[in-house]
């Protein structure tokens, strides 16, 4: 049971470089299965979820070679199976992308029901609806999803909800299907666009990614490519909030400021100064924080994956703020942990009312999921005293070198390895 031990009160200052986007990487790695050549993927973050996905590909027969700490070369031509390894797959939600990728390549995919962070029901009905529209049928048996198609033929698909996962999975399944597929009410997240750009760099014909209508003309062949993953929007947002929470002054490098606009807007509303450069953003806080209301929505709305982090900031703002969770049913489980540090937050279903307090105080807390864990880190950085955070395996699923990066900004943080059974990570 490894822990982070953080003594709060240090102002973060200096520069930090953001890694490649987790949610793009976990889509692009399985997408390599569709390629007819070797792919070199650059700017890959060194995090557990991505390493698990690379292991899954290796286990299925792909050649996976590390070129340097953030570049992998993957040869998918030696993949010999349409069945994904259950033990690895169940550790992460994004393993559902193997369904679309294997279906697209072999017209048959068998993948365990995906795991991932637990914040409510995480159905895949829209993914399956898309596959069926393309001509596939599926069965669910013993926790495995089995999707098969004689032929995949382009179709018109209207998604009932805006879903990143289904949008990506349908793109993967349709990219080599016959004819035209149109996805309406598609997700517009930066990682959807990045996946489409990656596939297009191999010769796919995908248009409209980043809007709510995506058109995919199926192609027969996808060549190998070299591709660099976009910077992680949520990692950047997390450091922006950490800088604000500690009255810091931080230059956050390797970002796409456009992807951060909804976060920037909220921080400015709270009285934080933001300066934008071409590929960097500077966050400075000198005064008190104002209350503000936040509603999470699909992109370009305020991201649900920043909701726990902004809640920490609102909990030390002047006045009462309201957070409305517009994406997930149950994403306030971390509030109980934050209350242990003195936050005054009440939750009713998808609504949280945050009464600002003067300061947070250290307490032993847990990371209940990835972004909740990031929120605990931010809370500890600005709290009085020394906080211990347990279950950090969740945090390490999505934050590359978080201890080193925060230390370089002046944080007092260390990772303590304690003997004992390693917690099984089911996400
Ligand atoms: N939904 C359905 N049916 C489906 C799929 C989704 O009803 O078939 C609903 C979900 O229940 C949810 C909403 O649609 O209410 C959005 O779900 P979405 O499919 O967009 O989520 P996801 O693809 O499972 C990705 C990210 C999450 C992020 C969400 C929303 C990855 C690997 N994960 O999940 O990221 O919260 O989109 O933006 O891309 C994280 O990084 O911490 C994380 C959890």
Reported as a single tens digit per residue, the pLDDT across 117-174 is 555 557 899 999 999 999 999 998 888 899 999 999 999 999 999 999 999 999 999 9
Domain-located, residue 422: no
Atom of ligand 1 nearest to the CA of 370: 42
CA dist 92 and 355 (Å) reads: 34
Atom of ligand 1 nearest to the CA of 303: 38
Atom of ligand 1 nearest to the CA of 189: 38
Q: Is the CB of 331 under 6 A from ligand 1?
A: no
Q: Which two tokens stand for residue 155?
A: 């179709």
H-type helices in 4-47, by residue range?
22-31
Domain-located, residue 384: yes
Domain-located, residue 427: no
Give the pLDDT confidence score for residue 374 in this predicted structure.
98
Q: Which two tokens stand for residue 169?
A: 């999975």
Nearest CA to ligand 1 atom 25: 164
- Check whether residue 287 and residue 216 sit in a common domain: no
Q: What residues act catalytically?
A: 117
Strands 412-416 and 3-7, sheet pairing: antiparallel
CA dist 340 and 135 (Å) reads: 52
**H or E element at residue 378:** helix 370-382
**Of the residues 186, 207, 228, which one is the last residue of a structural domain?**
228
- Check whether residue 219 and residue 303 sit in a common domain: no
Place of tokens 């080599």: 176
Q: Is the CB of 163 under 6 A from ligand 1?
A: yes
Domain that holds residue 59: 22-228
C-alpha dihedral, 183 to 184 to 187 to 193, nearest 10°: 50
Residue 279 per-residue DSSP state: S
Q: How far is the CA of 167 from the centre of ligand 1 (A)?
A: 10
Q: What is the pLDDT of residues 362-384, one digit of tens each?
A: 999 999 999 999 999 999 999 99
Q: Is the CB of 309 under 6 A from ligand 1?
A: no
Nearest CA to ligand 1 atom 22: 165
Taking 50 as the threshold, does the pLDDT of residue 97 lie above it? yes
Q: Is the CB of 161 under 6 A from ligand 1?
A: yes
Q: Is the CB of 166 under 6 A from ligand 1?
A: yes
Q: Which residues touch 16 (CB under 8 Å, ≥6 apart)?
A: 239, 250, 251, 252, 253, 405, 408, 409
Q: What are phi and psi of 202, to 5 degrees?
A: -95, 0
Q: Is the CB of 95 under 6 A from ligand 1?
A: no
Give the domain CATH number at 389. 3.65.10.10
Q: Is the CB of 326 under 6 A from ligand 1?
A: no
**Of the residues 228, 260, 285, which one is the last residue of a structural domain?**
228
Q: How far is the CA of 211 from the centre of ligand 1 (A)?
A: 17
Percent of the chain with pLDDT over 70: 96
Domain count, the chain: 2
Q: What are phi and psi of 149, to 5 degrees?
A: -145, 140
Atom of ligand 1 nearest to the CA of 124: 8
CA dist 333 and 314 (Å) reads: 17
- The residue-averaged pLDDT of 231-243 equals 98
420 — pLDDT class (breaks 50, 70, 90): low
Give the pLDDT confidence score for residue 427 in this predicted structure.
34
Q: Which two tokens stand for residue 42?
A: 């650059």
Could you give the angle at the alpha carbon of 138 between the alpha carbons of 424 and 197, nearest 5°? 75
Nearest CA to ligand 1 atom 23: 165
Q: What is the pLDDT of residues 99-113, one digit of tens each?
A: 999 999 999 999 987
CA dist 34 and 84 (Å) reads: 15
425 — pLDDT class (breaks 50, 70, 90): very low
Nearest CA to ligand 1 atom 28: 305
Atom of ligand 1 nearest to the CA of 121: 11
Percent of the chain with pLDDT over 90: 91
Taking 70 as the threshold, does the pLDDT of residue 114 lie above it? no
C-alpha dihedral, 157 to 159 to 164 to 170, nearest 10°: -20
- The residue-averaged pLDDT of 275-286 equals 98
C-alpha dihedral, 50 to 56 to 61 to 62, nearest 10°: -20
Q: Is the CB of 117 under 6 A from ligand 1?
A: yes
| pTM for this prediction | 0.96
Could you give the angle at the alpha carbon of 420 between the alpha carbons of 414 and 426, nearest 5°? 85
Domain-located, residue 274: yes
- Check whether residue 282 and residue 401 sit in a common domain: yes
């Amino acid at each position: 049971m490894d822990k982070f031990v953080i003594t709060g009160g240090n102002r973060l200052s200096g520069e930090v470089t953001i890694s490649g986007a987790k949610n793009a990487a976990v889509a692009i790695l399985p997408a390599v299965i569709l390629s007819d050549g070797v792919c070199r993927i650059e700017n890959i973050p060194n995090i557990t979820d991505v390493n698990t996905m690379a292991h899954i590909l290796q286990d299925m027969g792909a050649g996976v070679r590390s070129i340097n700490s953030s570049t992998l070369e993957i040869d998918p031509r030696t993949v010999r199976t349409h069945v994904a390894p259950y033990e690895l797959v169940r550790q992460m939600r994004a393993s559902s992308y193997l369904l679309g990728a294997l279906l697209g390549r072999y017209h048959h995919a068998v993948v365990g029901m995906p795991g991932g962070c637990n914040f409510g029901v995480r159905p895949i009905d829209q993914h399956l609806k898309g596959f069926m529209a393309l001509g596939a049928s599926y069965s669910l048996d013993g926790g495995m999803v089995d999707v098969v198609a004689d032929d995949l033929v382009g179709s018109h698909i209207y998604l009932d909800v805006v879903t990143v996962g289904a949008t990506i999975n349908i793109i993967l399944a349709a990219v080599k299907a016959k004819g035209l597929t149109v996805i309406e009410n598609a997700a517009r997240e930066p990682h959807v666009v990045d996946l489409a750009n990656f596939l297009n760099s191999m010769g796919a014909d995908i248009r409209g990614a980043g809007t709510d209508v995506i058109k995919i003309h199926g192609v027969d062949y996808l060549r190998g490519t070299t591709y660099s993953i976009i910077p992680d929007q949520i990692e950047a947002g997390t450091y922006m909030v950490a800088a604000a929470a500690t009255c810091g002054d931080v230059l956050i490098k390797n970002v796409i400021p456009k992807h951060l606009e909804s976060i920037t807007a909220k921080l400015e509303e709270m009285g934080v100064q933001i300066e934008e450069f071409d590929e960097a953003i500077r966050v400075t806080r000198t005064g008190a924080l104002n209350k503000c209301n936040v509603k999470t929505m699909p992109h370009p709305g305020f991201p649900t994956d920043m909701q726990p982090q902004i809640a920490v900031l609102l909990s030390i703002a002047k006045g009462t703020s309201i957070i409305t969770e517009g994406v997930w049913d149950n994403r306030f489980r971390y509030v109980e942990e934050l209350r242990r540090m003195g936050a005054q937050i009440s939750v009713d279903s998808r609504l949280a009312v945050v009464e600002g307090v003067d300061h947070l105080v250290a307490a032993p807390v847990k990371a209940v999921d990835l972004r909740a864990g990031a929120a605990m880190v931010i809370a500890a950085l600005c709290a009085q005293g020394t906080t211990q955070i347990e279950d950090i395996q969740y945090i390490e699923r999505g934050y590359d070198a978080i201890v080193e990066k925060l230390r370089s900004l002046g944080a007092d943080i260390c990772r303590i390895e304690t003997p004992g059974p390693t917690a099984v990570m089911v996400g």
